[in-house]
Chain A
Amino acid sequence: MTRTNFISFAFVAVLLAGCGSMPKTAELLIQNVKDGKMMSEKDVFEVKRPLSQVTEVFKKKADECFHQDLIRTWREGGLDRRQVVAFKPKMIVGKQHTRLTLQSKITEGSTELGDIPPDGWYFLVVDAYPLDKNTTRVESYFQQTGYRGAFTAVKLWASGKNMGCPDLTQ
């Protein structure tokens, strides 16, 4: 990562933290999207699969792809710099609702300001509801932090179009 790119990321993080819009809970992230706050967005779609199947896919893929540490390295002022970001996926599964959330936290290399939750800021919340026996409605909420691949992957997994893992470094 170049210095400019790193500074851009840091600037966005500070800006969001400063504005108080880096979500500490899933509900706050959803509210940010509903209020049309800066750098938050929503994707709503339906898939011809029962909720139980969508839930299984989310469980399997979240564990496989989101449970990881991302290591960024770059050179700054003649020194090699390193930053580690830990991701934490969580699932809440009910009969009529499944929720997948994804949090991120810098664990090495720099300090994040603000009252960060123990597992990090929420940047992705995915709610799935059954519309009928074979149709599921998915509502995906995203706080733009640089890990757009996660937001894109959810739709691809739910529809079965691509079962790979997103490259979260992009």
Chain B
Amino acid sequence: MSNLTPKCRAAVLILVAGMASACSSMHDYTNSKPENMSITPDVRKGSALMHVYDVDNKCDLHYQGTVELSGAKLKVGIPVSKLSYLEFIFSDTSIFTGSHSTSYGMYLTPRSGNQYDATVNYIDGMYYAKIHEQDSRGGTRHEVQRTVPKPCLKVNAGDKQ
């Protein structure tokens, strides 16, 4: 930086400030209580993130924050009895395609007292995100189906994933 001319230094600073402001739209997710979801990530190459969105009655998404799925098992709280949209982002870089990412989204309305286990894998170019729901009385455990809720059907008609 010290070798740069004042003009260049200003340009670099503007560029860095621009990048910082562009990135600042993404922030850590602040858990709601209770912490009702445990996530077990297995990311062998590249990286994985989970964006959490609130979904309003028009099916508009409101970004709440991002959880980094870096390897260790973690617990998060997804608001109970409210529709949320969880978007898993899988990113990698390669010689042929440069940096790239793909996403996989799911709607979820957590029920009071129930626990949710998410398994998130990104292995050998295959990604996988599944959520299981455990009944609060320790009863049945089942996979949460990936469905589009009624208010979002129209909105999603042209949006496939």
With a cutoff of 8 Å between Cβ atoms, the chain B residues found around residue A70 in the complex are 102
CB distance from B89 to the nearest CB of A (A): 11
With a cutoff of 8 Å between Cβ atoms, the chain A residues found around residue B100 in the complex are 1, 72, 167, 169-170
A167 touches B102 (CB 8 A): yes
Question: How many angstroms from the CA of A162 to the CA of B101 in the assembled complex?
Answer: 20
CB distance from A24 to the nearest CB of B (A): 22
CB of B25 closer than 8 Å to a CB of A: no
Give the interface SS of chain B, mostly helix, strand, loop or mixed: strand
CB of B97 closer than 8 Å to a CB of A: yes
Q: Report if A167-B98 is in contact (Cβ < 8 Å); known contacts: A69-B160, A69-B161, A156-B126.
A: no
B98 touches A164 (CB 8 A): no
- Give A69's nearest chain B residue, CB to CB: B160
CB distance from A87 to the nearest CB of B (A): 8
CB of A10 closer than 8 Å to a CB of B: no
B126 touches A64 (CB 8 A): no
Question: Among B98, B102, B104, B159, which residue has its beta carbon within 8 angstroms of that of A2?
Answer: B98
A165 touches B104 (CB 8 A): yes
Q: Report if A5-B98 is in contact (Cβ < 8 Å); known contacts: A67-B160, A68-B160, A164-B121.
A: yes
CB of A166 closer than 8 Å to a CB of B: yes
B126 touches A165 (CB 8 A): yes
13 chain-A/chain-B pairs, Cβ below 8 angstroms:
A1-B98, A5-B97, A8-B96, A146-B96, A149-B125, A163-B128, A164-B127, A164-B128, A167-B122, A167-B125, A169-B97, A170-B92, A170-B100
